[in-house]
Amino acid sequence: MGTRLDIAKKRILVTGAEGFLARAVIPELRRHGAAEIATADRGTHDLREQEAVRRLLAETRPQVVIGLAGLVGGILVNSQRPAEFMYDNLMMGTILLHESWRAGVEKYAACMCGCAYPDGAPSPIREEMLWDGPPQRNSAPYGSAKRMLAVQAEAYRRQYGFDCIVLVPGNIYGPHENFNLNDAHVIPSLVRKFCEAADAGAPEVVVWGSGTPRRDFVYVGDAAEAIVAALERYSGPELINISSGTETAIGDLVALIARLCGYRGRIVWDREKPDGQAVKIFDVSRMERLLGHRCRTPIEDGLRRTIDWYRENRSRGGVRL
């Protein structure tokens, strides 16, 4: 476990600051007393370039780095841009971790992704299953790039004693996420579709697949709390899943979002579109044991907050569409 980290006394760098996870992590850090927080996003630093990363670390002089930068998206955009998803995520992860070690950073938190796990991994998915098979085909370039964070962290810990922890968030959702229908994950895509359909009085909404797959969704605020808890309390080599550990059928999710958005029309399932893995639930016992944390926000509460945020900010132009 290691000595508890007092983040109030540390200079902290958070990358991917424009992303919705970072927008939850930064306030959580402040709630825990962090006063010196530097940020980097795509518009200020190209983390695929080694010199840009070196400049960033020289400018900010962090003692702690939380690596949240990444090129992310749903099944559609992963299928359309596999080379970018592979290259960008591999380079951002590899360079930032290496240069953080080189700059003398005391602690590094890397965030992997649930789709790095094998396509056929039985649920609940345990952290030690990572190498039991290849990732799901549609997102394999992205998932494989993210897997390398675990390899690099273990190598740098073993050779250099570098305190790098690797966290594996599940299907995170919440305010500030990307609601672009081409790029977005399932929940923001559905929220936008059903809110727009409700507002327009549309007679039907078409959704992908059969509705039978079951997924493990985690509210972004819960995930942020877990990341900060890990930063404070954990310094071990083992991966830690961060998720709710509860399952929601996609059909039930669709019906719930439709109701919360006030949509009363017909729902049409396009069964020619892919379902993805049949069941994907994460084992969260290690998170509960090592971090003393549980992701407690019920799916309906989290969805209501997400929908309220989307409706309120859409009219202001504050939503990524």
b/e map of 114-123 (b: 16 or more CB within 10 Å)? bbbbbbebeb
At residue 64, φ and ψ (nearest 5 deg) are -135, 135
Contact by Cβ (8 Å): 233, 291: yes
- Cα-Cα-Cα-Cα dihedral sign, residues 321, 300, 28, 231: negative
Contact by Cβ (8 Å): 216, 246: yes
How many C-beta atoms surround the C-beta of residue 213 within 10 A? 20
Token digits for 25? 């992590």
| Pairwise CA distance, residues 173 & 221, whole Å | 9
Which amino acids are annotated catalytic?
Answer: 142
Q: What is the DSSP letter of 7?
A: G
Token digits for 214? 């079951």
Tokens 């090129």 belong to 71
Contact by Cβ (8 Å): 125, 117: yes
| Pairwise CA distance, residues 2 & 164, whole Å | 12
Q: Which residues pair with 166 in a beta bridge?
A: 110
For residue 172, the surrounding DSSP H or E stretch is strand 171-173
Token digits for 88? 């960008």
Token digits for 170? 């599940």
| Pairwise CA distance, residues 67 & 286, whole Å | 21
